[in-house]
Structure 1
Amino acid sequence: MSGLSDTDTETESIKKSFLRQLVGFISGFGILATFCLLVFLTIGFIRFGNFVSTIKNEPGLVNADGIVVLTGGKNRISTAVALLQNNQAPRLLISGVHPTTSSESIAELMNIKKSMLDCCVDLDRQAKNTKGNADQTADWVKNNKISTLIVVTSNYHMPRSLLEMHALMPDIQLIPHVVAPTQPGQGKWYANPGKLKVIAIEYAKYTAISFRKSFDRVDKTLAAYTSAYSS
C-alpha cells in the first residue's frame, strides 16, 4: 500500500496554497488594472469633450498654401469656400465627394461660378472615411507642393482628422479651422444627449486610432532595431 508521506502532503498543501494566492493576486491585479483603465478613459473622455466643444479658430486671417475640407458635416464646404474667396489660400481640395455628384452640382451647392471651381477647386471622389481623406490629402499636398494646409472640418472631428493627417504628413504645417455644428442641439455637451452621443462615438474612434498609431510606432522602432542588428 502506497501513500503520501507527511512531507509530500505538506508540499502539496503549500503548492495549492501558493496557487490560490497566485490566482487571487492575478484576479485582484486584473480588477485594479480594469478600474485604472476605466478611470483613465473617463478622464480622457471628459477632457476630449471639453476640448472639442470649446476649440476656437485662430483670430484674424490665416494664410496657407492650400485648404482641404472633409465632407460629411453641415457648413463645412461653405466655410472652406469662404476661406478660398477671402484669398487665404490659392487652392481648395474637397475630400470625400460622392462619385455621382457632378461639378455643376458642387458649384451650385457652393454658390460659386463654375469657372472658379475649374481654376481653384479639386474634387476627391475616392475617400470613404477619415483615413481615406488623409490619404487623398497627402497625395494632393505632394502634387501641389503645399507646405502649409488649412484643415476644415467639424470641431468634434478635428482631433482625429489631424491625427490621421499628421501621421502621413509630419513635415506639413496643419492649421485647424473648426466648424461648430448647429446640431445636435445647444447647451453643455454633457447635458445634451445628442452632443454626448456624437462626442462619445468620436472619442472611441480617436482612442482606437491613437492606440493603432502607437503600435505602428513600436513596430517601426522594432523593425529599425532588427535591421540595424542584422546588418
Structure 2
Amino acid sequence: MMKRIASFTLLAWILGFAWFALLLPQPAPTQTTDAVVVLTGGANRIDHGLTVLEAGQAKQMLISGVDRDVRPGELAAQYPGYSRQFKCCVELGFRAVDTRSNALETARWVSKHQVKSLRLITHDWHMRRARLELDQAIPDNIRIVNDAVMTRPSLAILFKEYNKYWLRALAALIGL
C-alpha cells in the first residue's frame, strides 16, 4: 500500500512538473489596468513595465524589491527614453527582499493608491508563485492581470521554481 501511495505521489509530481514547465504563463493581451507592479530580479521586467506605462495601459507603476543602495535618479538613467514616466508615474519599493515580501509591499502600495486593477509583471517561470503570493496579500476585489515576460529558463530553474511554488502553496494552506 505504501509503495502505491509513493508511486502515485511521484507520478502526480512528475505530471505537475511537466504542466508547470511546458505551459508557462504568457504575456497579457493589450488591456488597461490602474497600475503595474514589476518584481525586480530579472532582465526585461522593468523595460516591459515602462512600455506598458508609455502605451497608456496603466497610470502608475511600482517597482518592488529595489535594492536599498539604488538611487531613483540612477535607475532612471538606465532607461533614458522613459524619463517622463520616472518623474510622474514610477515609485520604487525598497522593502521587499523575496517574492513573499514583494506581495506584501505591493499590497501596501495598492491600498495607499486605491488601485482596483493591477498588472503583475515578472518572468514566465516566476509568475505562478508570484501570483500565489499576491493573491494571499491583496483583497479579492482587486483585479490582477498576469503579464509574463517570456524567457528560456533552464531545467534547473524550472525544477527549483516548481518546488518553491508547491512549498509555498502548502505553507499557505496551513496558514503560514
TM-score bracket for the superposition, by shorter chain length: over 0.9
C-alpha separation in 2, matches of 1:101 and 1:112: 19
Match of 1:38 in 2: 10
Q: Structure 1: 5+ residue runs without aligned partners? A: 1-28, 185-194, 220-231
TM-score normalised over the length of structure 2? 0.93
Q: Shift of the alpha carbon at 1:35? A: 1.5
TM-score normalised over the length of structure 1? 0.72
Higher relative contact order (CA 8 A, sep 6+): 2
Q: Tell me the percent identity.
A: 29
User: Matched residue of 1:127: which SS?
Assistant: coil
Q: Structure 2: 5+ residue runs without aligned partners? A: none
Larger Rg computed on CA atoms: 1
C-alpha separation in 1, matches of 2:122 and 2:164: 16
Match of 1:214 in 2: 173
**Which structure: greater helix fraction?**
1
What amino acid sits opposite 1:68 in the alignment? Answer: V
User: Matched residue of 2:95: which SS?
Assistant: coil
What amino acid sits opposite 1:168 in the alignment? Answer: A
Match of 2:156 in 1: 197
Match of 2:112 in 1: 143
CA RMSD of aligned residues (A): 1.6
Q: Shift of the alpha carbon at 1:73? A: 0.8
Match of 1:93 in 2: 62
Q: Shift of the alpha carbon at 1:132? A: 0.7
Q: State whether residues 36 and 121 of structure 2, in contact with CA within 8 Å, keep that contact through their aligned partners in structure 1.
A: yes
Confirm whether residue 126 of structure 1 aligns to residue 101 of structure 2.
Answer: no
Match of 1:49 in 2: 21
**Which structure: greater strand fraction?**
2
Instruction: Encode CA deviations 1:163-191: one digit per residue, 9 max, x unaligned.
Output: 1001111221110111012x55xxxxxxx
